[in-house]
Amino acid sequence: KAGVTQTPRYLIKTRGQQVTLSCSPISGHRSVSWYQQTPGQGLQFLFEYFSETQRNKGNFPGRFSGRQFSNSRSEMNVSTLELGDSALYLCASSLSQGPNEKLFFGSGTQLSVL
Amino acid sequence: AQKVTQAQTEISVVEKEDVTLDCVYETRDTTYYLFWYKQPPSGELVFLIRRNSFDEQNEISGRYSWNFQKSTSSFNFTITASQVVDSAVYFCALRRTQGGSEKLVFGKGTKLTVNP
């Protein structure tokens, strides 16, 4: 069974640009969540989607958005990139959205903003 | 607010030593879940264990063991006879059970280096 797939693995962008990251969950998983990982702030929750609906959102500006498609694949978009957006963006999937659900993570997309 | 503290930023041991990673959490909830994840250099977090707040039994899985003490709000992780392959960053995390879908709150992680 294939794991969580995130593309691309690496991205280099410049300030002011926008970027779209993609996440394909494990087959059969309907919940997808996104986390930002930086050396200073650690792992921070961005948002969670279940059945194409955003169920929860972290404390990030509106420049960060996401969506989920009917096949459970998810994308997140960051507009007007800032230097501080440089981070590893991790996607995780789970069967459902319960609090006891194990999350299965992808290897992440390393975003560098110059 | 939920908070997870991993006071040990980095730990370095020699192979075959035992090592304990500390995790202290804060929550006002009476029910919650605690998790440990491992992040190897490849980047993806790997699930290790889940513990319900009502279940204070310690757990052992091979060389791994977990000590959950609700009275001290701690959920410590011990690796017995460490191996080089255990080198990774380990994260403790907390998730509420109330209020519907809730985010996973992570500690800052402990980087473990096991030297041959």
pLDDT in tens, A18-28: 999 999 999 99
The answer to whether residue B33 neighbours chain A at the CB level (below 8 Å) is yes
Report pLDDT for B60: 86
- Angle, vertex CA B6, rays to CA B105 and CA B81, nearest 5: 115
Interface of B with A in 47-76 (CB under 8 A): 47, 50, 52
The answer to whether residue B23 neighbours chain A at the CB level (below 8 Å) is no
Q: How many CA atoms lie within 13 A of B36 on its CB side?
A: 27
A42-51 per-position pLDDT tens digit:
999 999 999 9
Q: How close B100 gets to chain A, by Cα (Å)?
A: 8
From residue A89, alpha-carbon distances to A42, A52, A111, B87 in Å are 11, 20, 7, 22
Report pLDDT for B96: 82
Give the C-alpha separation, B47 to B95, whole Å: 14
Report pLDDT for A1: 67
Pairing of strands B74-79, B88-96: unpaired
Candidates A4, A56, A100; nearest CB to B50:
A100
Report pLDDT for B103: 81
Please state the rounded mean pLDDT for residues A60-81: 96
Burial pattern B15-27, b for ≥16 Cβ within 10 A else e, equals eeeebebbbbbeb
Report pLDDT for A100: 80
Please give chain B's pLDDT, 116 residues, in tens.
889 999 999 999 999 999 999 999 999 888 899 999 999 998 899 999 999 998 888 888 899 999 999 999 999 999 999 999 999 999 999 998 765 556 889 999 999 999 99
Full DSSP string of A78-101: E-S--GGG-EEEEEEEESS--TTP
Report pLDDT for B101: 52
Mean pLDDT of chain A: 94
- State what percent of residues in chain A have pLDDT above 70: 99
Q: How many CA atoms lie within 13 A of A105 on its CB side?
A: 23
Candidates B44, B91, B100; nearest CB to A43:
B91
Q: How close B86 gets to chain A, by Cα (Å)?
A: 18
